[in-house]
C-alpha cells in the first residue's frame, strides 16, 4: 500500500503537465484539459519552470522548453518584493531598522518630501512593506537595451533618464492600502543608506546565500557570467524582447533574478522559520495590515502569495502556512499569467487544494441577431479601440492587438473560458469589465 501511494505521488507532475485546466468548466459539457506543450504553444510562451513544496522540502521541480532547466533564472518581477521584505526584516532583527519609525530619520541620500499628507502620519518601514505608506507609482516597465538607466535617487525623483513618475505621498500614510512599487524603492534606498552597501550585496549576504539560493541575484544589469543561465523574455506574439530582457534598477520592487526552486527555499523559511529569520519576525510578516496584505506577501485564510509581471516574464507563488504545501512557477512570456493559471488549477486539482479550483459556468444560447447587435467598434476614454465581432456562438474581442473569444452566460454578459479577460457586460451601448469601459461608435 505504501509503495503504491509513493508511486502515485511520484507520478503527480506527469498528471499535472497533461491536465492543465481552463478557468471554467462548462456545465453539461465534457471536461477539457490540455498538455503543457499545447498551452505553451497557444500562449507563445517558450519556457516554464515549476517547483512544488510539501512536507518541509522541495518535493519536485520541472522545466519545460528548449534550453530551459530547473536552474534557468527568470525575472521574478514583483515576487522580488517579499524577498526584499525579508532583507529589511533581517535588518530590523539586527537593530539597524525599525518598523514604526519615520524612514526619513535614517535616509541619507534622499528623503520622502514633507507635505500636507505627512504632517501628522509618517512613512514607516511597516507601511512601505504593506503598501500603506500613501506613496505613488504602482509599478515599473524597466529599461530596454541601449536605454540609459537612472540612479536610485533619479528614479525616486522621476528625473531623466527615469521613465517613471516621482515617488511622492499623495494621501496620508496608514490611511489606505494601495499597491506601490515606489514604496519598495524607498525601502531599497533605506537598506542601502543604513548598511552603506548596494542592495544586491545586502540581499545576497542576509537572505540569498544563507537560504542556499545559488541561482538568484538582485544584480541589475545582470553580469555577463550569469547571462548564459538566464531565460529570454518574450512578447505576447512570441517575439523576443529587444536585448532579451529589460534592466530593472528598481531592484527591491522588480529586480530579482531567480528560479522556482530558489523561491521555494524562501517559502520553506516562511513556513518553518529559523534559518535566517526568527519565528516572531515571520509572524509579523504574516500579520495582515490592510487590504489582505502583510509585510511583503498577500495573505489568505491559511495562505501567503505574490505574483509578478515584468516585460516578457510572468510568475506566481502560492503557499499554505499550515498545510505545508506550495507551488512556484515562472514563465518567459507576456501571456504567462494565463498559462500559469492553468498550471495552478491543475496543481490545485491534483493536491485537492481549497484555493484555485476550476469554476463552473452555464452557457446560454444567444441568437445570431442579438450577437450581431453587440458587434462593432468601441472606444475607451483614452482613445483605445476595442473591436467586437461575432465568432460562432459567442464573440471575439480584440484589444491592444490581442483577440480573445468570449462565451455568453447571459444575453449581455460574456466570459472567457481561459479568464484572459474579465467578465464583460454589454449594456446601453457600452462594454464594461475589469476596469475597462468603452462606448460603441459603430
In the chain, what percentage of residues exceed pLDDT 90? 93
The long-range contacts involving 295-299, CB below 8 angstroms and separated by at least 24 positions, are 295/85, 295/89, 295/126, 295/129, 295/130, 296/81, 296/82, 296/83, 296/84, 296/85, 296/86, 296/89, 296/129, 297/82, 297/85, 297/270
> Is 379 found in the same domain as 246?
no
User: Which range of residues forms the domain containing residue 243?
Assistant: 74-258+271-295
> Is 102 found in the same domain as 229?
yes
Per the structure, how many domains does the chain have? 2
> Is 216 found in the same domain as 91?
yes
Grid cell digits, residue 282: 515571520
CA distance 11 to 279: 34
* Residues with Cβ within 8 Å of residue 349, at least 6 apart in sequence: 19, 21, 357, 358
| Residue from 353, 343, 357, 356 nearest 13 by CA | 343
Residue 130 lies in a domain: yes
Helices (H), 110-232: 125-129, 152-157, 181-195, 199-203, 224-227
> Is 381 found in the same domain as 244?
no
β-pairing, 24-26 with 359-361? parallel
Residue 135 lies in a domain: yes
Q: Which of 7-16, 56-65, 82-91, 307-316 is least confident? A: 7-16
Secondary element (H or E) of residue 38: helix 36-42
CA distance 206 to 256: 15
Q: What is the CATH number of the domain that holds 388?
A: 2.40.128.50
Identify the burial level of 160 via C-beta atoms within 10 angstroms of its C-beta, where 0-12 means exposed, 13-18 middle and 19 or more buried. exposed
Grid cell digits, residue 314: 510572468
Question: Around 12, how many Cα atoms within 13 Å sit in the side-chain half-sphere?
Answer: 22
> Is 195 found in the same domain as 93?
yes
Secondary element (H or E) of residue 341: helix 336-351
> Is 377 found in the same domain as 282?
no
The last residue of one of the domains, among 279, 295, 311, is 295
Confidence of residue 418 (pLDDT cuts 50, 70, 90): confident
pLDDT in tens, 16-63: 999 999 999 999 999 999 999 999 999 999 999 999 999 999 999 999
> Is 249 found in the same domain as 105?
yes
> Is 283 found in the same domain as 420?
no
CA distance 373 to 15: 43
Please report the pLDDT score of residue 315 as a whole number.
Answer: 99
- pLDDT of residue 1 exceeding 50, the answer is no
Residue 310 lies in a domain: no
Query: Is the pTM here over 0.85, yes or no?
Result: yes
Relative orientation angle of helices 80-93 and 181-195, to the nearest 10 degrees: 40
> Is 374 found in the same domain as 288?
no
Residue 309 lies in a domain: no
pLDDT in tens, 253-298: 999 999 999 999 999 999 999 999 999 999 999 999 998 999 999 9
Residue 56 lies in a domain: no
CA distance 1 to 5: 6
Please report the pLDDT score of residue 3 as a whole number.
Answer: 52
Residue 160 lies in a domain: yes
Please state, rounded to an integer, the average pLDDT across all residues of the chain: 95
Grid cell digits, residue 344: 495552478
Relative orientation angle of helices 80-93 and 260-271, to the nearest 10 degrees: 40
Residue 112 lies in a domain: yes
Residue 151 lies in a domain: yes
> Is 284 found in the same domain as 396?
no
- Dihedral sign, Cα of residue 176, residue 181, residue 185, residue 191: positive
> Is 281 found in the same domain as 373?
no
> Is 95 found in the same domain as 184?
yes
CA distance 9 to 1: 12
Residue 239 is classified by DSSP as: P
Q: What is the CATH number of the domain that holds 78?
A: 3.40.710.10
Amino acid at each position: 500500500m505504501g509503495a503504491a501511494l509513493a508511486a502515485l505521488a511520484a507520478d503527480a507532475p506527469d498528471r499535472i503537465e497533461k491536465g492543465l485546466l481552463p478557468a471554467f468548466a462548462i456545465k453539461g459539457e465534457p471536461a477539457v484539459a490540455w498538455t503543457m506543450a499545447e498551452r505553451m504553444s497557444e500562449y507563445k510562451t517558450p519556457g516554464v519552470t515549476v517547483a512544488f513544496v510539501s512536507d518541509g522540502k522541495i518535493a519536485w521541480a520541472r522545466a519545460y522548453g528548449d534550453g530551459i532547466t530547473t536552474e534557468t533564472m527568470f525575472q521574478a518581477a514583483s515576487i522580488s518584493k517579499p524577498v526584499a521584505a525579508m532583507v529589511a526584516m533581517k535588518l530590523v532583527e539586527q537593530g539597524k531598522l525599525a518598523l514604526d519609525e519615520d524612514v526619513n530619520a535614517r535616509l541619507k541620500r534622499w528623503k520622502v518630501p514633507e507635505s500636507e499628507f505627512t504632517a501628522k502620519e509618517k512613512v514607516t518601514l511597516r507601511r512601505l512593506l504593506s503598501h500603506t505608506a500613501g506613496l505613488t507609482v504602482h509599478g515599473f516597465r524597466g529599461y530596454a537595451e541601449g536605454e540609459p538607466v537612472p540612479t536610485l535617487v533619479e528614479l525616486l525623483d522621476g528625473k531623466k533618464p527615469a521613465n517613471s513618475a516621482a515617488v511622492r505621498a499623495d494621501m496620508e500614510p496608514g490611511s489606505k492600502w494601495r499597491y506601490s512599487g515606489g514604496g519598495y524603492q524607498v525601502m531599497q534606498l533605506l537598506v542601502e543608506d543604513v548598511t552603506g552597501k548596494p542592495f544586491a550585496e545586502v540581499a545576497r549576504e542576509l537572505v540569498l546565500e544563507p537560504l542556499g539560493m545559488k541561482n538568484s541575484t538582485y544584480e541589475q544589469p545582470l553580469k555577463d557570467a550569469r547571462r548564459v543561465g538566464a531565460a529570454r523574455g518574450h512578447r505576447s506574439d512570441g517575439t523576443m524582447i529587444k536585448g532579451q530582457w529589460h534592466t530593472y534598477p528598481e531592484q527591491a520592487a522588480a529586480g530579482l533574478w531567480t528560479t522556482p526552486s530558489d523561491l521555494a527555499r524562501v517559502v520553506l523559511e516562511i513556513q518553518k522559520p529559523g534559518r535566517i529569520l526568527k519565528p516572531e519576525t515571520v509572524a509579523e510578516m504574516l500579520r495582515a495590515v490592510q487590504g489582505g496584505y502583510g509585510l511583503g506577501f498577500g495573505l489568505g485564510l491559511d495562505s501567503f502569495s505574490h505574483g509578478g509581471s515584468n516585460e516578457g516574464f510572468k510568475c506566481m507563488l502560492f503557499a499554505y502556512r499550515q498545510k505545508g504545501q506550495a507551488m512556484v512557477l515562472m514563465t518567459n512570456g507576456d501571456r504567462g499569467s494565463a498559462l500559469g493559471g492553468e498550471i495552478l488549477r491543475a496543481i490545485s486539482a491534483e493536491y485537492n487544494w481549497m484555493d484555485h479550483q476550476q469554476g463552473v459556468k452555464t452557457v446560454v444560447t444567444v441568437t445570431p441577431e442579438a450577437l450581431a447587435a453587440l458587434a462593432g467598434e468601441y472606444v475607451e476614454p483614452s482613445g483605445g479601440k476595442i473591436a467586437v465581432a461575432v465568432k460562432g456562438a459567442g464573440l471575439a474581442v480584440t484589444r491592444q492587438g490581442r483577440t480573445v473569444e468570449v462565451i455568453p452566460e447571459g444575453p449581455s454578459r460574456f466570459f472567457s473560458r481561459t479568464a484572459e479577460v474579465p467578465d464583460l457586460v454589454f449594456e446601453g451601448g457600452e462594454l464594461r469589465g475589469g476596469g475597462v469601459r468603452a462606448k460603441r461608435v459603430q
